[in-house]
Amino acid sequence: MNALNDDDLVFVEDEAAQSETGEDAGHWRILVVDDDPGVHEVTRFALANTLILNRPVTLFHASSGAEAVALLRAKDNIAVVLLDVVMESDDAGLRTVDIIRNELKLANCRIILRTGQPGQAPEAETITRYDINDYKTKSELTQNKLFTTLTAAIRSYDQLLRLDANRRGLEKIIAASNQFIVEQGLQTFAEGVITQIAGLMGIEPEGLVCAAVEDNPLDKSSSQLRIIAAAGQFRHLIQHRLNEIDDPRIVGALTEALEQRRNLIESRNVTLYFAKTPEKGFAAFIDSAIPIRDVDQDLLEVFCTNIALCAKNIDLVAELRSDAFFDRRLGLPNHTALVGEIDQRLAMAPDAGSVLALVDVDQFASANDWLGQDYGDALLEATAQRLRERLPSEAFIARRAGDGFAVVGPARVVNGEHVQACFRTPVAIEGVHQSVSISVGIVPLAKGRSGIEYVKDGYLALKRAKAAGQGQTMMFSEDFRRAARERAHLLHDLRLATARKQLFLTYQPQIDLKSGQIVGAEALMRWRREDGGLVPPDCFIPIAEHSGLIVGMGDWLLHTSLLALQRSRAAGFPDLRMAVNISPVQLRQPDFFEVVAEALRQTQSHPANLELDITAAVAGGGLEPVIAVLGRLRAMGVTVAFDPFGTDYSALTYLDELPADRLKVDHRLVGALEQDARAARAARTFIAVGRELGLKVVAKGVENQNLLQRVIALGCNEAQGYHYASPMLEEEFVAWLATQRRIHS
Ligand code: C2E
């Protein structure tokens, strides 16, 4: 075989040895395959000290196809193979090409075939099929020709590599974009940016990301720039100000990129600028131990734009996160965050003895109604502030909803005594010191249940605390959960009860105490279950009220009782009055007036024969609408009785404002007249206030002659109770009326 026949051949050392130590980083790697040692030597001479596309060359040598394949398996990044066609066999070269392309899958590697004679040239089809770069006879490859041939091949190899890098880069950008959306916060994001840029450039991640400090986003002086992420040797610089870095190269590059809002690409580092908004952005400085390959500018541009968009999304996601987990109004974690906190505490330390306390401000709704929402807001802010100030920092404080707060922490910190103690002294609300009372429901946390379940338990305890009065604390008990479950079952059954017609009415007569005449009746609802058992109204009426079922049930009662009244009229008792209990939920319905008017019209009843019994609870939703609708109904002729519950003396305060005709004295209060001097005083006060306001007073629960005498003595006008009759079914009631008429005629 012919050796190269050019003139100025210079001897070079075997550079393959260097590559093992990595010293050929940035060199073009060329593999010379020939069974003629002279060819190797001549090639070495020809390429000594040669730079191709500004980079040196490292030669590898193989003297057979098999050796070449072994070497290609062992070495990466061989840019060009200078391959003899005829070696151990006539087609050893072409077989090597086949292995390179099909077995080793080295698609980028350029192949230049060299043959001794023109006759050994491969078919054109073979050249195309195997992507052979060039074909030269050895005699053609003078030093100059070798240089130009290799330069063309290496340029092509480099372009293929860049295409590859671009593809990989774009894939990374897409993957990164997806990943960044779910990342939490700018720091993780910025760390990702360093890794991505380094990956794109094929270098180790060494760099830092810098942004203007939050409160001064437009000042780009190095003292106002903060390092938000760092990787590699720069890791320790995270959170430092840029001017604290003792490297003018980095400080200069980052400041310049941020000030001029542009990318700076140097031979051993790049500084990329990412614009989040026209004014705000951040910059990443990436260092490289080796000269940075001429990375496609376009790719970096695409990367910067895409990642800047991601950064914008990070801010949006951060805002969404904050909205999802944070109550901006009071600056406290919200219900979702509370549930997450409990779950996290239980997952990390299930036996730590943590406690959840749910806190409600007593009378918040009425304070909000009476004193306005601004006052309500100030009250909530003051409550949050007080909890923050008085409870130790290890207590996690959250706002659940409305006036509901929650505290989670160790039992020694979070207990009824400590939480209540926060409000022992008055709280400043709108500049005035006022007493705030809270109700607290306590639940110890232990493994086995989830955060959401514990909050539900806490709520049950809190409800009990509130029911016990103001300023109370209640510890959760399993009984609360059981009772709640029973109520849920009862509600389910009650829904079916209305459809299955299990509800019916009973009527209890009312007597005028002066004349002894029967003046009316109270309609009382009953529920008989499928098994025949009666459910007391005290059990199902509150459930009906809470669920809203009472509205439909109340309409039905109104119609049914007025129809019964019509039938009693037909039976010869024309002047009776029907008293129906009206729940506050019914009264607050916007069409309540129309519902009553329609019932009167449909049953052809006279409004004066209808009495609506309302309780003190109507004041809960604000008195004004109640006063308005009752005023309209009274103007039509309907009468109203105020029927406060038990010994709730505070109900008397509404009496003056509510338009009413009668005051009913609760059977508990009347019953207590026989036993308790204090109750007797309370009953007397009730009756006196009613009379003072010009109301007729009705004593309920008159069970015997003794009580009758007492209520007469106290000045009551009417009475109702077992002494006269128990609540009866309609037929019984009509029969009872007939009997009474016979007796008294
Ligand atoms: P209320 O309006 O105070 O009804 C009087 C309750 O006292 C009735 O109980 C009645 O059966 C009972 N009672 C009657 N006479 C005597 C007596 O001499 N001594 C004693 N100790 N009790 C007597 P009931 O029917 O169990 O109703 C309980 C409560 O349930 C009622 O108290 C009322 O608040 C509510 N309720 C009953 N029916 C309805 C209704 O249709 N709608 C609404 N919203 N509430 C109803």
The domain spanning residue 713 has which CATH number? Answer: 3.20.20.450
Q: Residue 11 domain-assigned?
A: no
Query: Do 232 and 378 have their domain in common?
Result: no
Query: Do 312 and 342 have their domain in common?
Result: no
DSSP assignment of 518-535 equals EEEEEEEEEEE-TTSPEE
Which of 114, 134, 164 lies at the terminal end of a domain, its last residue? 164
Does the beta carbon of 583 lie inside 6 Å of ligand 1?
yes
Classify residue 59 as exposed, middle or buried by CB count within 10 Å of its CB (0-12, 13-18, 19+): buried
Q: Which residue shows structure tokens 């404080």? A: 397
Centre of ligand 1 from the C-alpha of residue 508, in Å: 9
Q: Residue 207 domain-assigned?
A: yes
Closest by Cα among 185, 196, 228, 168 to 307: 196
Does the beta carbon of 458 lie inside 6 Å of ligand 1?
no
Q: Residue 442 domain-assigned?
A: yes
Which of 322, 344, 370 lies at the terminal end of a domain, its last residue? 322
Query: Do 152 and 91 have their domain in common?
Result: yes
Q: Which residue shows structure tokens 């991640």? A: 205
Does the beta carbon of 509 lie inside 6 Å of ligand 1?
no
Single-letter code of the amino acid located at 574: P
Residue numbers of the chain with a pLDDT score lower than 70: 1-23, 25, 117-124, 165-188, 199-200, 202-203, 213-220, 222, 290-299, 314, 621, 645-650
| β-strand partners of 503 | 527
Cα–Cα distance, 100 to 92 (Å, whole number): 12
Q: What is the pLDDT of residue 2?
A: 36
CATH number at residue 421: 3.30.70.270
Query: Do 632 and 548 have their domain in common?
Result: yes
Centre of ligand 1 from the C-alpha of residue 590, in Å: 26
CB 419 within 8 A of CB 407: yes
CATH number at residue 268: 3.30.450.40
Helices 297-325 and 186-201 cross at an angle (nearest 10°) of: 160
Q: Name the residue range of residue 399's domain.
A: 332-476
Does the beta carbon of 281 lie inside 6 Å of ligand 1?
no
Token couple for 309: 């968009």
CB 153 within 8 A of CB 31: no
Cα–Cα distance, 339 to 695 (Å, whole number): 52
Q: What is the pLDDT of residue 211?
A: 80
Which of 269, 300, 322 lies at the terminal end of a domain, its last residue? 322
* Exposure string for 521-548, b = 16+ CB within 10 A, e = fewer: bbbbbbbeeeeeeebeeeebbebbbeee
Classify residue 559 as exposed, middle or buried by CB count within 10 Å of its CB (0-12, 13-18, 19+): middle
Q: What is the pLDDT of residue 570?
A: 87
Centre of ligand 1 from the C-alpha of residue 537, in Å: 7
Q: Residue 5 domain-assigned?
A: no
Query: Do 511 and 645 have their domain in common?
Result: yes
Q: Residue 336 domain-assigned?
A: yes
Q: Residue 490 domain-assigned?
A: no
Q: CA 703, 704, 705, 709 torsion: positive or negative?
A: negative
Residue 740's H or E segment, with its range, is: helix 730-744
CA-proximal residue: ligand 1, atom 46 (nearest): 581
Query: Do 266 and 308 have their domain in common?
Result: yes
Query: Do 367 and 303 have their domain in common?
Result: no
Query: Do 347 and 434 have their domain in common?
Result: yes
Q: Is 428 left (phi over 0), alpha (psi -120 to 50) or beta?
A: beta
CB 698 within 8 A of CB 665: yes
Q: Which residue shows structure tokens 């404002």? A: 657
Does the beta carbon of 537 lie inside 6 Å of ligand 1?
yes
**Longest Cα separation, the chain:** 152
Q: How far is CA 64 from CA 45, 69, 554, in A?
A: 21, 9, 102
CATH number at residue 89: 3.40.50.2300
Query: Do 216 and 73 have their domain in common?
Result: no
Classify 476 as helix, strand or coil. Answer: coil
Q: What is the pLDDT of residue 396?
A: 94
Q: Residue 402 domain-assigned?
A: yes
Q: H-type helices in 130-185, by residue range? A: 143-182
The DSSP secondary-structure symbol of 87 reads: S
Question: Which atom in ligand 1 lies closest to the alpha carbon of residue 664?
Answer: 3
Count how many domains the chain has: 4
Query: Do 131 and 156 have their domain in common?
Result: yes
Token couple for 731: 């037929």
Among 526, 551, 581, the mutation site with the greatest number of ligand 1 atoms within 8 A of its Cβ is 581
Query: Do 456 and 530 have their domain in common?
Result: no
Q: How far is CA 384 from CA 132, 351, 361, 377, in A?
A: 77, 28, 11, 11
Among 524, 556, 561, 580, the mutation site with the greatest number of ligand 1 atoms within 8 A of its Cβ is 524
Q: Residue 15 domain-assigned?
A: no
Q: What is the pLDDT of residue 190?
A: 74
At residue 414, what are phi and psi to the nearest 5 degrees?
Answer: -100, 95
Query: Do 88 and 38 have their domain in common?
Result: yes
Q: How far is CA 10 from CA 18, 36, 40, 52, 60, in A?
A: 19, 19, 13, 16, 17
Q: What is the pLDDT of residue 703?
A: 96
Q: H-type helices in 523-591, by residue range? A: 537-547, 549-570, 584-587
